[in-house]
Amino acid sequence: MPYCSRCGVEVDDGAAECPLCEAPIQRLDAPAAPPGDGPYPQHIIDPQDTYRLSRAERRRIAVEILSLIAILGSGALLLMDLLSSADLGWSRYAVASIIFGWTAACLPIALHGRPKAAVAAVGAASVAFLVVLDAMDGAIGWSLSLGAPIALTSFAAVLATATCIATRRVKGLNLLGIGAIGLAAYLVALESLLRIGILGLERFGEARPYWSLVAALALVPVAVFLFYLHGRVARGADLRKIFRL
Amino acid sequence: MKHEGDAEAPRPRQDTSRPKVLRRYSDDRQYPGEHPWFALDHAAIIYPSILSDRVSAYYRIQAILDEKVDIPLLQRALDALRPRFPYFQIELRRGFFWFFFERNDEPNLVVEDSKFPMQRLSSGRKGVYLYRVRAHADRVSLEMCHILTDGYGAMIYFRSLLAEYYRLKGVRTEYGPMVFDPNDTPGPGEWEDAFSRYATPGAPGPARIGPAWHLPGIGLPVHTMRVVTGELSLSAALAKAKEHGATLTVYLSSVFLAALQDVQEAEGGDAPRSRRLPLRLQVPANLRNFFPSSTLRNFSLFALPELDTRLGRYEFAEIVARVKATMALAFTPKEIMRTITRNVATAKHPVVRAVPLTMKNLIMRGLYRSHGEALYSSLSTNVGQARLPDSFAARVRRIDVVLPSTPGLKTVAGMLSHGDSLSISFGSVIERRDLERAFFTRLVRDGLKVRVESNLGSADGKDA
C-alpha cells in the first residue's frame, strides 16, 4: 500500500497526495487507481445538476434579455417622437414607464433571495417614478402629497403581510386571516392618507377615517374566525404545547 | 427466479398484535391523540438556536460493508424500523416559549451520499426529519442531529437498521438491548429526558473556567467540510495505551492534547508563553454508565482535561497523567450531578421559561459562544466498540463516526472501533490540516501503523 514519506501514514491506492501534508505520493510498484474511486462520491449535491445552467446564470441571462428589450423599445419610441415632431414630447412618459418597468422587473431578479430588499427597492423605484412623472408637467405636486405616501404604504403593507405569511410554517386558512388583517390595516392607512392629502395637515382633526374602520371591523372578526378554524379544527392545535412554559 | 422477499430470515420474535399504548412524554406529560408532541431534552434545547449554514449539529455513523449497498432493500429496512423508534420520527416546531417535537408522518427516504457530509437539513420546513440515512457504493451512513439523541441512541438505531437490512437479505439476528426488534413496542423509558430525573435541586454548579485556546485558520467555503479518517489496528492501539498505563480513551485524548500543544507551539512563534491560553479538550461520556436509564434521547456529558501551557511544555507522560486524573475526577456521579443540575435548573427557572423563544434564541446563541465553545479548544469522543451482532459483524469492514465541526472549534475528532479496526475521523471546516497531521504522525511515531483517507484533496479544500 502506498504511503507518505513525510508523515509515515499509509494512503489509499488512488490517492495522488497525502491527505495530511499534501505531499505527492511516490509510486514505485503499481500505477495509481483511476480517480473517482475514493471513499466519498465526487458530486457535491446532485450529479444531475452538473450540466444544467445554474440559477445565477439563468438570472443573469434574464436581466440581459430584459435590458435589451428596454433599450430597443426606448430607442424606438424616442426616435419616432423625434422624427414626427422634432422634439421630445409624449415619448418621455413612455420611456420613463419602460425604465420603471425594467427596474421593477430586474430588481427582484438581482436581489434574488432577499425578498425584503427587493420589495423595498421596488417601492423606492415606484416613488421615484411617480415623482419623475409629476415633475415632467413642470412642477411637483400630487406625487408628494398623495402618490408617494400611497405607494409607500402599499409596499409596506404588502411587505409586512408577505413577511408574516412567509414565516408561517403551516400554511392554510391562517394565510387568509393574515391577508384580511393586512388588508384592514392598509385600508385604514389609505383612507387616512387620502383625507390628509386632500384636506391638508391643518385639518387633520377632521380627517378621521370612517369607511375604512367599518371595513376593518368586518375584516378582523373574519380573520380571527379563520385563525380559529385553521388552528383548532384543521390542525388540531393544542394550546398547551404552544404556550408550554 | 428467486424473489427478494424469499430470502428474508424469520423474525426471532413476532409481535403481530401490537398494543396501542399511551405515549409518555417528557416532563411527565401525556398527550395522546392525533398530534402528539413532546419537549426537547435538556441537552438538546441549545441546538435549535445555534443551527445555521455553518453549524449543522449533525454527526454521522457510517459502515463500510463487504458489498455494494442494495438501496431499495435499505429503504425497506428503514421503513420497517421507523415505528420502533417513534421519538426519532418527528419534526422540530417552534412554540412561543420553547421548541418542541411533533410527530412527522412524511416518508423518510434513503438519499444518495455526497462529497460533503452532514450538511444541515432545513429543520424549519414542515415534514423534515432530523436524521437521514444515506448510501454510496459499499457504505451506509446515518446522519443524526444532536437535537434527537447522542451517540448511544444513534448506535442502537444504526445497529437495528443494519440488522433489519441483513434480515431482509436472509441473515437472522438475535434481538436484545443493543439491537431492537422492529416489531417491539417502544418502552416508556426510551422517551425519557433523563437529565430531569437526575437533577438534584440545591446541588452546587460546576466551577467556572476561562476561555481556552482555539485553532486559527481560514475557513473552508460554507456547506463544505473536510473529513480525514485514519484506520489502525485496535489491538495495537490498546497495547500502546496499556504501555502508557491508560485506557484507550485516555491515550487517544492525550495524543489529541499533545497534538494541540504541537500546533499551539508552532503557531505561537516568539510570543511570550505567559500570554498563551490553556488547551482544553472536551471528552464526552455516556451518562447511562453512571445513572441507570434506558433513554434513547440525549444523556451524555463531558470532562475537560486541560494543559496550561504557560507553565511550559508538557511531556506525553505528564499529559496522560493529567487526562487520566481529570477524567477520573469528572466522571463520578456527584461531579456529573453538578452540571446536570445546573443545566436543568437554568431551563426550569421561571424567568427563563417566561422569555419568548425569539429572545431565548438570541441569548442562547451568545451563551453558546461565550460559555460553550469558548471554553474548550476542541472535542474528541470515543464512542467505543460498535458491538455489531455476530450474525453480520463480519460483513461490515469498518465503522466510522464523524463529528461536524463549527467555526469556533474548527477541527474535532470521533473514534469508533469494530473488530480489530479502530477508526479515528476528523471533521474540519478550515483549510489547514496541521492538527490532523500532528495527531496521526504522533501515532506513527508511537509505533502504530495508520492508513489515512479524506473526502477531498488539497485543491478541493481551497477551491470548492
What integer pLDDT is reported at residue B151 of this predicted model?
Answer: 94
Name residue, grid cell 419602460: A98
DSSP state string for B368-436:
HHHHTGGG-SEEEEEEEE----HHHHTTEEEEEEE----TTT-EEEEEEEETTEEEEEEEE-BS--HHH
Please report the pLDDT score of residue A194 as a whole number: 85
Q: Are residues B264 and B160 in the same domain?
A: no
What tens digit of pLDDT does each residue of B66-86 get?
999 999 999 999 999 999 999
Residues with pLDDT less than 70, chain A? 28-38, 42-54, 201-208, 233-237
Supply the CATH number for residue B153's domain. Answer: 3.30.559.10
Same-domain pairing of B316 and B372: yes
Give B15's pLDDT tier (boundaries 50, 70, 90): very low
Average pLDDT rounded to a whole number, residues B416-427: 96
For residues B290 and B333, give the distance between their C-alpha atoms in angstroms, rounded to a whole number. 6
Q: Which of A115-119, B200-204, B408-412, B433-437 has the lowest mean pLDDT?
A: A115-119
Q: Which domain holds residue B123?
A: 4-9+37-198
B372 touches chain A (CB under 8 A): no
Q: What is the pLDDT of residues A157-196, one digit of tens each?
A: 988 998 888 888 777 888 999 999 999 999 999 988 888 8
Interchain proximity B112–A245, CB inside 8 Å: no
B234 and B166 inside one domain: no
The pLDDT of residue B371 is above 80: yes
Q: How much is the pLDDT for B415?
A: 96
Q: Quote the CA–CA distance of B119 and B350 in Å, as a whole number.
A: 35
Burial B235-272 (b: 16+ CB within 10 A, else e): ebbbebbeebebbbbbbbbbbbbbbbbbbbeeeeeeee
B360: pLDDT strictly greater than 50 = yes
B285 lies in a domain?
yes
- Number of domains, chain B: 2
At B307-350, the pLDDT tens digits run 999 999 999 999 999 999 999 999 999 999 999 999 999 999 99
Q: Is the dihedral of CA B159, B162, B164, B169 positive or negative?
A: negative
B377 min Cα distance to partner chain A (Å)? 20
Comparing B264-278, B338-352, B413-427, the range with the smallest average pLDDT is: B264-278
The tens digit of pLDDT for each residue in A116-129 reads: 888 888 888 998 99
Domain assignment present for residue B114? The answer is: yes
Is the pLDDT at B445 greater than 60? The verdict is: yes
pLDDT of res. A176:
92
B150, B182, B198 - which closes a domain: B198
ipTM attached to this prediction: 0.80
Chain B residues within an 8 Å CB radius of A1:
451
* Residue B204 forms part of a structural domain: no
Tens digits of residue pLDDT in B217-228 = 888 888 889 999
User: Average per-residue pLDDT in chain B?
Assistant: 88
State residue B461's pLDDT score: 43
CB-CB: which of A20, A169, A236 is closest to B124? A169
Nearest residue in chain B measured CA to CA from A7:
B441
Q: What percent of chain B has pLDDT over 70?
A: 90
Residues B234, B184 within the same domain: no
- Asked whether the predicted pLDDT for residue B33 surpasses 60, the reply is no
For residues B109-120, average pLDDT: 86
Confidence band for B463, pLDDT divided at 50, 70 and 90: very low
Query: Which residues are paired to B245 by β-bridges?
Result: none
Average pLDDT over residues B165-186: 93
Domain for residue B436, yes or no?
A: yes
Check residue B26 and give its pLDDT: 38
B187 plus B238 within the same structural domain:
no
Q: Is residue B31 part of a domain?
A: no
A21-30, B112-121, B189-198: segment of lowest average pLDDT: A21-30
Q: What is the pLDDT of residue B76?
A: 95
C-alpha distance from B39 to closest chain A C-alpha (Å): 9
Cβ count near B171 (within 10 Å): 17
Q: Are residues B412 and B265 in the same domain?
A: yes
Which range is least confidently modeled, A10-24, B3-17, B104-118, B417-431?
B3-17
Q: Are residues B231 and B187 in the same domain?
A: no
Task: State the pLDDT at residue B1.
Answer: 38
CB contact under 8 A, B455 and A39: yes
Q: Mark which residues 123-162 of B lie under 8 Å from A by CB.
A: 124-126, 136-137, 139
A and B: number of Cβ contacts within 8 A: 115
Mean pLDDT lowest among B27-31, B402-406, B434-438:
B27-31
In a domain, B214, yes or no: no
Of all residues in chain A, the one with the smallest CA distance to B124 is A169
Do B346 and B426 share a domain, yes or no? yes
| B219: in domain | no
pLDDT at B390: 94
pLDDT for the residue numbered B17: 42
DSSP B237-300: HHHHHHHTT--HHHHHHHHHHHHHHHHHHHHHTTS-GGGPPPEEEEEEEEGGGTS-----S--E
Verify that B307 and B441 share a domain, yes or no: yes
Q: Specify if B41 maps to a domain.
A: yes
pLDDT beyond 80 at B8: no
**Which residues of chain A does B33 touch, with a Cβ-Cβ cutoff of 8 Å?**
236
- Residues in B closer than 8 angstroms to A241, CB to CB, are 31, 37, 95, 100, 102
